[in-house]
Structure 1
Amino acid sequence: MAIQILPPQLANQIAAGEVVERPASVVKELVENCLDAGATKVDIEIEKGGAKLIRIQDNGGGIDKADLPLALSRHATSKLHSLDDLETILSFGFRGEALASISSVSRLCLTSRTEQQSEAWMAYAEGSEMAVKIQPAAHPVGTTIEVADLFFNTPARRRFLKSDKTEFSHIDEWLKRMALVRPDIQLTLKHNGKQVRHYRPATRDDQFLQRLAQVAGRDFAEQAVQVECAHEGLHLSGYLQSPLQITAQDTHYFYVNGRLVRDRLVNHAVRQAFAELDEIEQPGYVLMLQLDPHQVDVNVHPAKLEVRFHQARYVHDFILQALTSALEQSALIKPGLSDNPYSEAPGADDAFYAPPKAAITSGDATAKMPGTRAEENPAGDAAGAWQHSGHERHEERQHPAAQRPSYTAAGAPSATALHSYGALLSTPGHVNESAQSIAPSPPLLDGAYWVVTHDADLLLLPVKAVASELQYRQIQAKLAQGLPSQPLLMPVALATQENWKQLLATHHERLQHLGFELNIRYQQLIIKKVPPYLRDTQLASLIHELLTWFEQDAQITDDALARWMATKSVQGFVSAPVVWQALHLLDDTAKTEIYKMAKALPWRDWLEQAT
């Protein structure tokens, strides 16, 4: 059979098979177009689950009359102009297929007006004929699209549609996902003339928590752990199910640069973060990842539901570290599994404690509890949200003792737990280092320095310097027998250099002794295993630095290597409470050595000047 070019209407219907799966797919594509057009208000009307009518109106920039016929043509878009644009996509749409595909399987009417036009214009196309008719119309600035009789000319596809209720539920679910990632947009949804959803614009934290409660439920919104972490071009924010909430949650939303995607690496990272909490099989989450668009490929799935990260392992480990740190800092880990020195060993009298109202911050990450119960919230907003004002945060910085969180028991604690809890509440805001027991973590200055007292001195002790020293001591102690080696979830590959093959052969045994497994294949250096201390680092640049060092100095001492690895291991986020507790497990001599890193503050001079 001879090869021939497909007719446009047939090509469009084939494309529609990928883009237009059901009415929810139509709503998704059209609403995303509204947002790309700069709309701040989107109204959606549905009849009979979307099979009879889908009408979407926005207040965006509109479409010029001259562009209306092109808007319904395949591969016509205003969002891409060159191959370079494809590598930095930040808009929802970019292929120019949606409107053409939708109009090929429905009766589509597009009415639009730009601010520069004195009147609106309407474009109409019906099914496979694809003949676009343009005529004047009355319409405010913005666009309205009506999709009637979906799949009227493809009966086989129409028979696959479910009941009106089921199809509408898919539309409602998709709108919930969009409501979370774009809280600034007002969204309304009507079904058969009745308003079902109304998402008001949310520009403040308390307003967003109301929207979160609408989408994910009040319990999730009130108890969820807020995640906020940034590191070297990656920024993760959102909410994670509280370990106190052990009931199953159907809230699993992950966004990359504002685009909702499905990603197995993210699910794996969330499950790992909750690995010690057996009660929760699949924790709920609403997570938003921002990164350089050059580092992610969104053009890998017809419906744009999947992405491909250029450094997938690094992204996975960053998410895992951020979530683990947020859970640790929210004081929600079950006693006996956490590092809390005041928790009892797990047993019949285990007690969970509600999270602190104050934000707990360390390094680059912040874990917050978004709300309290309604009776504890004088503002009385829908989500029961409690947030610090800027003035309150300033007051807390001036008075460190005010930062001590208050806890309420979620279950009946034992007498021993109550005694320990009372001792904790009575602890002063500063720490006396002469105490023999492990003291609670002292106040943090700028997230980087502990404010502590030692004898009669007031000290600033750098968190990362202490973490590096502790890591160095641990590595040094294990280096004689060889460091453990940990396989990566996904091997890292980088372009090799001419002399690296010889370097790997020369230093093969020593690299293995350090916990590295490296080999060269197809002009690439493959990193398969690393010591656990370096797992959360940027391995590509780190291995390059290590091999360059070996090339320049073949007689590197083990002590120098231990110091180098310790320094690299703490360049990212460091959990101050965990480091503090590790410091207090050392003997007095080691602690005295570490305290030499601190800088003494002339508090006596300050007092004299004040008086």
Structure 2
Amino acid sequence: MAERTIEILSPRLANQIAAGEVVERPASVVKELIENSLDAGATRIDIEVEQGGLKLIRVRDNGRGVAKSDLSLALARHATSKVYSLDELEALVSLGFRGEALASVASVSRLNFTSKPASQADAWQVQSQGRDMLTEVTPAAHTDGTSVEVRDLFFNTPARRKFLRTEKTEFSHLEEVIKRQALSRFDVGFSLRHNNRTIHALRPALTITEQQRRIAALLNPDFMLNSILIETERAGLKMTGWVGLPTFSRSSADMQYFFVNGRVVRDRVIAHAVKQAYRDVLFHGRQPCFVLFLELDSLGVDVNVHPTKHEVRFRDQRLVHDFLFSQLHRALAEVRPQLGAEPLVAPELTPTTSGIEAGEFGGQRSLNMADRSAPYSMSSTPSSSLSTGEQVAFYQQLQRPSDLVTERGWQAQQPLPQTSQVDIPPLGFAIAQLHGVFILAQSEQGLILVDMHAAHERITYERMKNQYDQQGIQAQPLLVPLKLAVSNREADTAEEFAEVLATFGLELQRSGPEALTVRQIPVYLQQADVEPLVRSVLADFSSHESSDAILAQRNEILSTMACHGSIRANRKLTIPEMNGLLRDMERTERSGQCNHGRPTWTQLSMTELDKLFLRGR
């Protein structure tokens, strides 16, 4: 290749190179234009597109507008009204600021820019046909605000156009941009039309209820029916928004929206904090759902680290990570059954799917999952027709196995509490056990079904974690030490990590090349089958190379131990035992899911039961 001299790029080529940074597809154009509208103080933004945005993109707003004298500069490179100094750049509060978006879009499209400030009598416009930025200002008809019309995107760069996908795919990317902007600014109304068909018509959402309606309309009504509201502030950081219950999850991360100072971002610090918060409760391979807003001083975050501004850099990453993790972890820990449940959204926002495979477990949605420490009153009258003695007898009957069995083997029916007059616990009272696997209980709303092994597993796990943190796992010596035949590797592991095993409540002594003696086990696991418990723990230990690695994964090890120490399937429980389990669930953090993220209970309301049997029709 012959030697070439250095030359200054022509404005047209420089603009097209810059366009490659910020204009990837029609969605990129819409993002830049909406951000300009929001920075201009718009409270209404209307977007109209054709053919996925390839043929036409029109964005109209009611913002401050651009004066006639500035119109020509609006399409010039490095021209902006948002940043005048380095200090303003470091404390940036606007969404767009690079001063290249309009120039870049204009260089690869046929662009028409029309604007009218309120202080100006008439509207004016400038046009560009993908050539150098030599524009002419002409009069136009327009109300207060700005309209930007982009036609034939990439008409003069056919190589770029070849990389675009189908109309459907490009429009899905474009719609996703609008969803993010509409979620970031509840105070602004948005509309979207595609090929002359209205897709979204969103009015400003100023109250919590209106905001929940907007989220339900943009994402999925099921999300709002299966989420909890978060509002917390600490150390100059403020977080608000909604997080999905662990039983409402997705196979992909397509319902995760995080905003920093109103800007939607993707950040590894944020992603890691959220993942850690859900780690103890989320089913394997599933993704949590959330719409969260973080606010902090603009000096504490750098948003100018990527041309599209999707990434940020925090000045104090550890502070942000610990704040997010601790607040989300605490909110999820407080998810437990609670009386006085009210749906988060209006009744008409009904779920369209159900089941964990559809990304949620709808039966948990209708109970308020906040903490409740007050004892449950057993003194209220279950029925106005019962005397005091009958009421006492009624509750005594609920708390012991029934011996009232007819000659045909059916349990005699007993009076059920009038739920409108009785203070019933969130998970109700146990009435039966199904196939040794499920507990059936009557609650205030209807029928509760509990997976007794999954529920007891979570209860045992949380107790062991708390005890480990406070005083270490309490152990109980076996009356008769148990001898186990193990592999040489298992024996080596038990011998190498003997001291660490002791902190988990297990005392294992090597009694031969391939033999172990179990001398004590954790108090909470005294009903466990010891041999599989020991083998599972040793398998966990052998997968780590050091004591530090084991302690770092201690929750996973405690989870393994809790699983072996929980009620097994087909074990018959008495009514008091079942009620005791229900009350423990109501007091235990994260009791809505087992250690593996599976749901522990669900509910069928009286309305749902009536529908099953066509009652009222």
Partner of 2:559: none
After the TM superposition, which residues 132-281 of structure 1 pair with which residues of structure 2 at under 5 Å, given as runs?
A: 132-248=135-251, 250-279=254-283, 281=286
Residue 76 in structure 1 maps to residue 79 in structure 2: yes
Partner of 2:114: 111
Partner of 1:329: 334
d(CA) in 2 for partners of 1:303, 1:168: 19
Deviation per residue, 1:431-457 (Å, 9 max, x gap): xxxxxxxxxxxxxxxxxxxxxxxxxxx
Q: Is the 8 A contact 1:45 1:56 kept in 2?
A: yes
Q: What secondary structure does 1:129 align onto? A: coil
**What amino acid maps onto 1:286 in structure 2?**
V
Gaps of 5+ in 1: 332-352, 360-368, 378-384, 389-395, 423-469, 476-480, 482-528, 533-576, 580-611
Residue 49 in structure 1 maps to residue 52 in structure 2: yes
Q: What secondary structure does 1:10 align onto? A: helix
Q: Is the 8 A contact 1:357 1:371 kept in 2?
A: no
Identity of aligned residues (%): 47
Report the CA distance shift for 1:2/1:376 in structure 2 as closer, same or farther (over 3 A).
closer
**What amino acid maps onto 1:274 in structure 2?**
Y
d(CA) in 1 for partners of 2:158, 2:424: 62
d(CA) in 2 for partners of 1:420, 1:357: 16
Residue 295 in structure 1 maps to residue 314 in structure 2: no
How many angstroms does 1:149 deviate by?
0.8
d(CA) in 1 for partners of 2:118, 2:424: 53
How many angstroms does 1:265 deviate by?
2.0
Residue 310 in structure 1 maps to residue 348 in structure 2: no
How many angstroms does 1:406 deviate by?
6.7
d(CA) in 2 for partners of 1:164, 1:153: 19
After the TM superposition, which residues 542-581 of structure 1 pair with which residues of structure 2 at under 5 Å, given as runs?
A: none
> TM-score normalised to the size of structure 1?
0.58
Q: Is the 8 A contact 2:247 2:282 kept in 1?
A: no
Report the CA distance shift for 1:405/1:34 in structure 2 as closer, same or farther (over 3 A).
farther
How many angstroms does 1:420 deviate by?
12
Deviation per residue, 1:199-250 (Å, 9 max, x gap): 1211111111111111220111111121211101001111111123245462
After the TM superposition, which residues 503-514 of structure 1 pair with which residues of structure 2 at under 5 Å, given as runs?
A: none
Report the CA distance shift for 1:418/1:48 in structure 2 as closer, same or farther (over 3 A).
closer
d(CA) in 2 for partners of 1:387, 1:207: 21
Partner of 1:64: 67
Residue 370 in structure 1 maps to residue 344 in structure 2: yes
**What amino acid maps onto 1:306 in structure 2?**
E
**What amino acid maps onto 1:148 in structure 2?**
R
Residue 32 in structure 1 maps to residue 35 in structure 2: yes
Partner of 2:426: 407
d(CA) in 2 for partners of 1:279, 1:15: 44
Report the CA distance shift for 1:99/1:406 in structure 2 as closer, same or farther (over 3 A).
farther
d(CA) in 2 for partners of 1:51, 1:420: 58
Q: What secondary structure does 1:70 align onto? A: helix
How many angstroms does 1:472 deviate by?
12
d(CA) in 1 for partners of 2:247, 2:432: 15
Q: Is the 8 A contact 2:339 2:367 kept in 1?
A: no
Gaps of 5+ in 2: 352-364, 378-420, 445-466, 473-498, 500-548, 553-586, 590-617
Deviation per residue, 1:507-547 (Å, 9 max, x gap): xxxxxxxxxxxxxxxxxxxxxx9x99xxxxxxxxxxxxxxx
How many angstroms does 1:5 deviate by?
2.1
Report the CA distance shift for 1:24/1:472 in structure 2 as closer, same or farther (over 3 A).
closer
Q: What secondary structure does 1:195 align onto? A: strand
After the TM superposition, which residues 416-431 of structure 1 pair with which residues of structure 2 at under 5 Å, given as runs?
A: none
Q: Is the 8 A contact 2:250 2:287 kept in 1?
A: no
d(CA) in 2 for partners of 1:95, 1:210: 34
How many angstroms does 1:114 deviate by?
0.6
CA RMSD of aligned residues (A): 4.3
d(CA) in 2 for partners of 1:189, 1:154: 27
Q: What secondary structure does 2:31 align onto? A: helix
Deviation per residue, 1:268-307 (Å, 9 max, x gap): 2222112122425211111111011111000000100100
Q: What secondary structure does 2:131 align onto? A: helix
How many angstroms does 1:183 deviate by?
1.1
Q: What secondary structure does 1:170 align onto? A: helix
Report the CA distance shift for 1:375/1:76 in structure 2 as closer, same or farther (over 3 A).
closer
Q: Which has the larger radius of gyration?
A: 2
d(CA) in 2 for partners of 1:200, 1:376: 21
Report the CA distance shift for 1:65/1:246 in structure 2 as closer, same or farther (over 3 A).
closer
After the TM superposition, which residues 597-608 of structure 1 pair with which residues of structure 2 at under 5 Å, given as runs?
A: none
Q: Is the 8 A contact 1:108 1:125 kept in 2?
A: yes
Partner of 2:102: 99
* Equivalent of residue 127 in structure 1, options 115, 127, 130: 130
- Name the stretch that deviates more: 3-12 or 412-421: 412-421
Q: Is the 8 A contact 1:357 1:406 kept in 2?
A: no
Deviation per residue, 1:37-88 (Å, 9 max, x gap): 0111111110111111111110111100011011111111111111011111
Q: What secondary structure does 1:300 align onto? A: coil
Taking CA–CA contacts closer than 8 Å with sequence separation of 6 or more, which of the two structures ends up with the larger relative contact order?
2
Q: What secondary structure does 1:127 align onto? A: coil
**What amino acid maps onto 1:241 in structure 2?**
G
How many angstroms does 1:130 deviate by?
2.2
How many angstroms does 1:129 deviate by?
2.7
Partner of 1:521: none
How many angstroms does 1:117 deviate by?
0.8
Q: Is the 8 A contact 1:358 1:405 kept in 2?
A: no
How many angstroms does 1:168 deviate by?
0.9
How many angstroms does 1:412 deviate by?
9.8
d(CA) in 2 for partners of 1:134, 1:75: 20
Q: What secondary structure does 1:128 align onto? A: coil
Partner of 2:21: 18
Q: Is the 8 A contact 1:63 1:113 kept in 2?
A: yes
Report the CA distance shift for 1:472/1:30 in structure 2 as closer, same or farther (over 3 A).
closer
